[in-house]
Structure 1
Amino acid sequence: MLPRSCLSTTLFSLPVLLFSLPLQAASFLAQVASAPPHGVSTLHHQLLQLAPTATPEALRLAAQALSCAEPSAERLAVIDYSLPSTEPRMWVFDLHQHALLFEELVSHGQGSGDAVAEVFSNTPESHQSSIGLFRTMNSYYGRNGYSLRLDGLEANVNNLAFERAIVIHGANYVSEDFIEQTGRLGRSQGCPAVREEITYPLIDSLKENQYVFAYYPDEEWLATSAYLRCTTEHPQLAQR
């Protein structure tokens, strides 16, 4: 027979042990559930968890491009131009804090299409949007108010973004009211314009060496983009 002191300790510890077992099991199951499935990268899995309504292929390619450019990046915006402008199609992620900061409407260029964007280019004065990976630069006040400069990282795809003044800015034609009146968002001259109400916090979350990935299933870009086929032999292509 156990001494009284040991018996008391054992009886006291038993409920605590029984109570902790379900918590340990729940913790284990949570870890299993949060682990990436086979063949899915950690970053891709993180984006899928944070933005379950986004197009999975857009998130997969965004994860691939960012892993190639800067695996330790803090912030990433993904724009999915395969969706119509009437739907939220811009997501801003805080990758270090595992948080979705914004899920927003965003415009495309006048030359890219009406309610749906279909044509993209790197050509000045085309008023078309550009796809691919961008690195953010500084914020500034210009003719469209508070704006964020973008540095296009992909040759012949978006590398003239700075020259073309392709920037993130707010616009009064990006709103639910505008959609109700016209059946689509207003269109820019190629810039990814956002709602005026969130211009300041969204730009501040992305400025200065963060990343923006603009997706569209363009066959030529998908087949040739260096950021979508980066290997361990050629990491961090964006360091230039």
Structure 2
Amino acid sequence: MAVLAACQSPEVARQEPRTMPVPPTPVATVVVPDSLRLTPVAPLAAVPDSLRRAVRALHKRLGPAAATLRPSVLERACVGYLTLRRAGRVRRAGVLAVADMDLPSSEKRLWVIDLRRAEVLEHSPVAHGRGSGHLRARRFSNTIKSACTALGFYATQDTYQGKHGLSRRLRGLDAGQNDNALRRYVVLHAADYVSRRHLQRHGQAGNSRGCPALPPDQYRAIIAAVPEGSCLLLSGPGLESKWLDGAVAAERLAARGWL
């Protein structure tokens, strides 16, 4: 049932013969219980009340489209976005994409948010890597050829025409956790196994080789909604990031708002 995406540039795909043996899949040590019960997300330490109130207000204004976006996940995404903006690591102001990879792949678990207007621009399913699990992503890894999803903050990069058509490159911003993204050719691209037809037939999305693959009827809009320099968080159990600095994020919000 699972369909595999190449998650590679055309050049690399031509260089590697299909008969090339695949080494055993290395995986991370964080393992999620094999059930549909979501993993609790602990509140971040040292987040000022002013920032928490702002995130709660944002979540409320996002309305029904964000009903399944857990406030604790949104808080982490916002804290990371503000900290990365302060550090100059994401250049695009006011755009935040977050995927809660703890949700099963049968659900819409990717949101693209316009922070200034408090509006959900796009909401869709998104695939996780076959090395991470089937319906539920249970393992995460940054290792090349692991076929796993790697958690953490990403900055969107340029687009190109590849094996899957229009694709957008991703740069991992968390050292040791997702910084192999460019070498692994982890990109945003379309995949038939994330289509409505596939989800209706199989009850879940298929699996990529690590890319957050998108529905064919939404991928162009999503790729356009996260221009180069935008912030993307792939959230999930075991996520750690130096960008989750509540004090720095609160200072940035007080000084510049969501810009």
TM-score, normalization by structure 2: 0.70
**Equivalent of 1:40, from 52, 70, 74?**
52
Judging changes above 3 Å, is the alpha-carbon distance between structure 1 residues 40 and 232 closer, same or farther for their aligned structure 2 residues? closer
Q: Is the 8 A contact 1:91 1:103 kept in 2?
A: yes
CA-to-aligned-CA distance 1:74-121 (integer Å, 9 cap, x gap) = 211100001000000000011123211011010000100010001111
Match of 1:65 among 80, 94, 102: 80
Partner Cα distance (1:130, 1:206) in 2: 19
Q: CA deviation at 1:184?
A: 1.5
The one-letter code sitting in structure 2 at the alignment partner of 1:210 is S
| Worse overlay, 71-80 or 88-97 | 71-80
SS of the residue aligned with 1:103?
A: strand
Q: Hey, what does 1:228 align to over in structure 2?
A: 244
Q: Are the aligned partners of 1:48 and 1:56 in contact in 2 as well (CA < 8 Å)?
A: no
Match of 1:119 in 2: 139
**For 1:173, what is the secondary structure of its paired residue?**
helix
User: Hey, what does 1:107 align to over in structure 2?
Assistant: 127
Aligned residues: percent identity? 33
Task: Point out where structure 1 has 5 or more consecutive residues left out of the alignment.
Answer: 1-36
Give the number of the structure with larger relative contact order, counting CA–CA contacts within 8 Å between residues 6 or more apart.
Answer: 2
Give the alignment's Cα RMSD to 1 decimal.
2.3
Partner amino acid for 1:214?
A: L
What's the TM-score, normalizing by structure 1? 0.75
2:208 alignment partner, SS class: coil
Distance 1:123 1:76, change over 3 A: same
| Counterpart in the other structure of 2:189 | 169
Whole-Å separation in 1 of the counterparts to 2:202 and 2:217: 20
Does the 8 Å contact 2:61/2:118 carry over to 1?
no
Letter in 2 for 1:65: G
Q: How does 1:47-86 map to 2 (within 5 A)?
A: 47-50=59-62, 51-70=66-85, 73-86=93-106
**Runs of at least 4 residues of structure 1 off by over 4 A?**
none
Partner AA of 1:84 in structure 2:
P
2:175 maps to a residue whose letter is A
For residues 183-236 of structure 1, the C-alpha deviation after alignment (integer angstroms, 9 at most, x for no partner) is 321111100011111111110110210110111121xx33xx211135439x89
* 1:195-210 to 2 correspondences below 5 Å: 195-210=215-230
Equivalent residue pairs, number = 196
